Amino acid sequence: MDRYLVFGHPVRHSKSPFIHTLFARQTQQALEYGLAEPAADGFAEALQTFFAEGGKGCNVTVPFKEQAFALVDRLSPRAKRAGAVNTIKLTDDGVLLGDNTDGAGLVADLKAHGVTLTGGRILLLGAGGAARGCLAPLLAERPSELVIANRTQAKAGQLASEFQDLGPVRAQGYEALQGPFDLIINSTSASLQGDLPPLAPTLIHVDIAIYDMMYGAADTPFILWAKQQGARQTMDGLGMLVEQAAEAFTVWRGIRPGTKQVLRELKRNLGIL
């Protein structure tokens, strides 16, 4: 039985084992998928041990994505561009290949919700690893402009300069943001603490699409706030979670699972349906 798992800290809440078990059943692949929560300074050793003991691949989540980037033998073009790795595969010739499926997962989920990215004006909140992993796939959809807003504007500026060769991207302080935007993506972890990014309510209008990468059984604080300001289309990151997992599964097994039924089962598991 081929072994896969997800590394994170904390990681006990992860739905990845649930998702990949359903993918395996659907595609008739023989594999088992578990959880690993090494100490903050123990990831490198845990990763090495996992593959030495016969592991075939893994997902990597907070806070280990940048460490994973430095520990693999080879990087896919999208992982190299993102500067972070969330998927690792042991290839047939014994090479640890690092990939990043976050951005592909986000774009696939946005399209599944009918959001038009081409020609739209996008506001991306946050400049951490989650934002970094999504910039290239978002810019590949040819928006009219992508604005990065972050509490530390210098960090947003650095990120924008790294990706400006891919399309019209720039950094802006929260207080200087000017609408209208067609889509606002919250890549910050503010929702996990019950906080909100310092966004002016005037940026929310009835036709805007709101996306929070965080998710839960109830609306995240950001989605709840956006609804209160009049936003009609709001989405959390549950679909992105499933879509990026399908992308990772494809990297590992060479077969793409369907996501719609798995997303329905996941919502049922979380008590959303």
Distance CA 75, CA 155 (A): 24
Give the pLDDT band (50/70/90) at residue 19: very high
Q: What share of the chain is helix, strand, coil (3-state, %, to 5)?
A: 45, 20, 40
- Out of 56, 65, 111, 267, which one is annotated catalytic? 65
Give the pLDDT band (50/70/90) at residue 193: confident
The pLDDT value recorded for residue 200 is 95
Q: What average pLDDT does range 25-54 have in this prediction?
A: 97
Has 48 been labeled as part of a binding site? Answer: no
Query: Above 70 in pLDDT, residue 5?
Result: yes
CB distance 257 to 27 below 8 Å: yes
Which ranges in the chain are annotated with CATH 3.40.50.10860?
A: 2-100+244-270
Give the pLDDT band (50/70/90) at residue 180: very high
Per-residue buried b or exposed e for 227-237, using 16+ beta carbons within 10 Å of the residue's own CB? eebebebbbbb
pLDDT in tens, 68-120: 999 999 999 999 999 999 999 999 999 999 999 999 999 999 999 999 999 99
Q: Which residue has the higher pLDDT, 10 or 229?
A: 229
CB distance 118 to 97 below 8 Å: no
Query: Above 80 in pLDDT, residue 48?
Result: yes
Could you give phi then psi for residue 164, rounded to 5 degrees?
-70, -15
Strands (E), the chain: 2-7, 31-36, 57-60, 74-75, 87-90, 96-99, 121-125, 145-149, 169-172, 183-186, 209-212, 233-235
Distance CA 124, CA 97 (A): 28
Which ranges in the chain are annotated with CATH 3.40.50.720?
A: 103-236
Name the token pair of 91: 């290839």
Give the pLDDT band (50/70/90) at residue 273: low
Return the residue matching tokens 């798992």.
5
Distance CA 199, CA 187 (A): 13
CB distance 234 to 184 below 8 Å: no
Has 227 been labeled as part of a binding site? Answer: no
CATH number of 103-236: 3.40.50.720
Has 244 been labeled as part of a binding site? Answer: yes
The pLDDT value recorded for residue 18 is 97
Has 267 been labeled as part of a binding site? Answer: no
Give the pLDDT band (50/70/90) at residue 178: very high
Q: Minimal CA–CA distance to 123: which of 206, 23, 195, 197?
A: 197
Query: Three-state DSSP class for 64?
Result: coil
Q: What average pLDDT does range 46-63 have in this prediction?
A: 96
65 is catalytic: yes
**Beta-bridge partners for 170:** 147
The pLDDT value recorded for residue 55 is 98
Average pLDDT, the chain: 95
Fold classified for 2-100+244-270: Rossmann fold (3.40.50)
Which region among 165-179, 181-195, 212-226 has the lowest average model confidence (pLDDT)?
181-195
Distance CA 166, CA 140 (A): 7
Has 127 been labeled as part of a binding site? Answer: yes
Has 14 been labeled as part of a binding site? Answer: yes
Percent of the chain past pLDDT 90, that is, above it, reads 88
Q: What average pLDDT does range 140-153 have in this prediction?
A: 96
Has 15 been labeled as part of a binding site? Answer: yes
